[in-house]
Chains A and B, each alone.
Chain A
Amino acid sequence: MGLFLHQVLAGIATGGIYACMGLAVVMIYQAIDHLNFAQGEMAMFSTFVAWQLIQWGAPYWVAFLATVAISFAAGVAIDRIVFKPIHGAPVLSHVVVFIAMLSILNSGAGYIWDYQIKTFPSPFGSGNLFGQNLVSRHDAGMIAVTLMMLMALYFFFRHTRIGLAMRAAAASPDSARLAGIRVGWMVALGWGMAAAIGAIAGMMIAPVVFLEPNMMISILLYGFAGAVLGGLTSPGGAVLGGFAVGVIENLAATYIPGAGRELKLTIALFIIVAVLIFKPGGLFGRRVVSRV
């Protein structure tokens, strides 16, 4: 039982990473109706920006806020410059452009900051919480930040005019446009927010996995798995899904012989496929029914 509990707690700690990423994935999915395959690289790039600011001598929280602001602006710019021209193009074209972005950001980060692994500071310190070797202070801080982001998003979408306008633009663009909402800018805002959330996720994740251009691909997969498990239409579900994926991963590594560390990614694959087969809407998502 002790082992079980320990593994669950450790799973929740890792799950915080996936929850962060899952939240960013769902945000962008809500705004543009596409899964952003470049999401991980965007977060990675933002984290490098923060690292650079800290290297230049900025205090952590100044760098943190500046990075969030820069990422937000960059997200809006990406939408306006890259994605507006292909608005309404088939899914295929979108996926290609996402992949192109992934390639550009990855190679750009490698070019500017090279491929050497860098350490990234944690604002919460690195000791253990409660003295035991269960949850580190950073893990706890990361989980708290994720939950705070979730709450902020909830209030933003439920209780502000602009949040309402964004939901309307996502749910029914044509009607929203008739009601005077500038749908194009709502989408851009969604991009900006997703980029900002991705930046926070990246800065939270980087102290755990270290900073390098390829750090995100497997985390993105877990973020997808968490988002799918929780439901792609539900930010809260995505966060919960992220934690669940962390726990499942840890338990599978402990109790299924042969799974271990070396099949980590395969577990994510199984989670995604299993959820999509048995409950395609995810645990908390809406079922999308389309009329023919």
Chain B
Amino acid sequence: MPRSDDVGAEARSPTGSSLASWRALAIIGGLVLVAGLPFVVKNFLTFQITLAVIYAIAILGLNLLTGVNGQFSLGHSAFYAIGAYTAAIMMNADIDYGWTLPAAGLACFVSGFLFGLPALRLEGIYLALATFALAVATPQLLKVNFLEDWTGGVQGISVIKPDAPFGLPLNADQWLYFFTLAVAALLYLCAANLVKSRTGRALVAIRDHPVAASAMGINVPLYKSLIFGVSALYTGVAGALGAIAIQFVAPDSFTFALAIALFVGLVVGGVGSIPGTLFGGAFVLFVPNIAEKVSKGLAGAVYGVILILLIYLMPTGVAGLVRWVAGKLVRRPAAAGDARPVASAGMSPDVKPAMELIGLEGDKSGVQAR
């Protein structure tokens, strides 16, 4: 089967490579910043950034489901909870924290797949409804009596933050920061590859036209429940990392509010955009704090107003906005026949495929502004 260049970006415009070089520069600068950060800022900020990255991973999971496959979920707090509890229970059984991540991922993949099996018959608003019910029911399920030996009931479970291994000169927060980043990098790479693969194209086809996709021989139910599982896996790994970072799990940390937060992060970052999820993670963590600073009593209202404004002003999320601005910036000099300002910045050609890994393009995002 010939490979169509469906998801790739290169064929889009003659200025694409210039845009790519800009992005490469930004990414290398970003890497330096990211590596140095925990040594410059306070521990608490390091911890917060770690959390933002963790949320970003969870949102990435949601994005694989919504952005790539077009399914909704308002219930990913449930998978986040399963991941967190798996990690907490395993760590209390003296299992090394490194092993909790694959276990949490596996547990969530299985439960996501199983929830996805019935859910695949549902579309749009109905799936939102079913997952809404899941999110609202989750805290109750976690408190239930006959699981109390495992889950600690209302009390929850405490865990101890791991120290840096091999005698590295890092404190626990700094180590967890780098550990989380490494896990995130791996997961982002996998997600980008998945989207680019044959499977990814099948998923996009299902999103865009399920009937046509199934006529092309794609097993729609299988793919839909598989991606539900994979999405849950991502969110579950994030949940496990979250449990380790916060050192505590309890049923009331995984309410509908968390599901909303993840969903909002997805929309704010940009549906269908993989790098956008990083913005989403930061939004989820920091904006409620900002809203609280504006007015303590009305924090929720301020948050709501910010959300409505976002939907009005940038319906494609931060990723859409960045793409739009970048498009404006790059097109102008190229149209004037100018030498591209970054062409000589020494980007090797193999940077470009790496760029492609980073993102789907906007017109594939499935959400069009009006």
User: Which residues of A are in contact with B by a Cβ distance under 8 Å?
Assistant: 34-35, 37, 82, 85-86, 88-93, 95-97, 99-104, 106-108, 110-111, 217-218, 221, 224-225, 228, 258, 262-266, 268-269, 272-273, 276-277, 280, 292
Contact = CB atoms under 8 A, between A and B. Distances in A.
Contact of A110 (B66, B132, B297, B370): B297
A221 B136 contact: yes
B140 interface: yes
Helix, strand, loop or mixed for chain B's interface?
helix
A272 B271 CA distance: 27
Interface stretch (B80-88, B168-176, B242-250, B300-308): B300-308
A99 B264 contact: yes
Contacts, number: 140
A240 B174 CA distance: 57
A100 B260 CA distance: 10
Given A107-B300, A107-B301, A262-B144, A92 B260 contact: no
B166 interface: no
B305 A107 contact: no
Given A108-B301, A265-B140, A99 B271 contact: no
Contacts of B125: 34-35, 91
B300 A280 contact: no
Contacts of A106: 300
Interface residues of B, number: 48
Contacts of A86: 311-312, 315, 370
B303 A103 contact: yes
Contact of A276 (B118, B256, B260, B368): B118
The 8 A-B pairs at the shortest CB distance, nearest first, are namely A107-B300, A104-B304, A100-B307, A103-B304, A100-B304, A269-B133, A269-B137, A111-B297
14 contacts: A86-B312, A86-B315, A92-B66, A93-B311, A96-B264, A96-B307, A101-B304, A104-B305, A110-B297, A258-B144, A263-B140, A268-B137, A272-B130, A273-B130
A37 B315 contact: no
A276 B140 contact: no
A104 B307 CA distance: 10
Nearest to B143: A262
Interface in B116-146: 118, 121-122, 124-126, 128-130, 132-134, 136-137, 140-141, 143-146
A37 B132 contact: yes
Interface in B61-90: 66, 72, 74
A282 B126 CA distance: 12
Interface in B341-370: 367-370
B280 to A, nearest CB: 12
Given A103-B304, A263-B141, A272-B129, A95 B297 contact: no
Contact of A99 (B121, B129, B260, B370): B260
Contact of A93 (B74, B118, B141, B315): B315
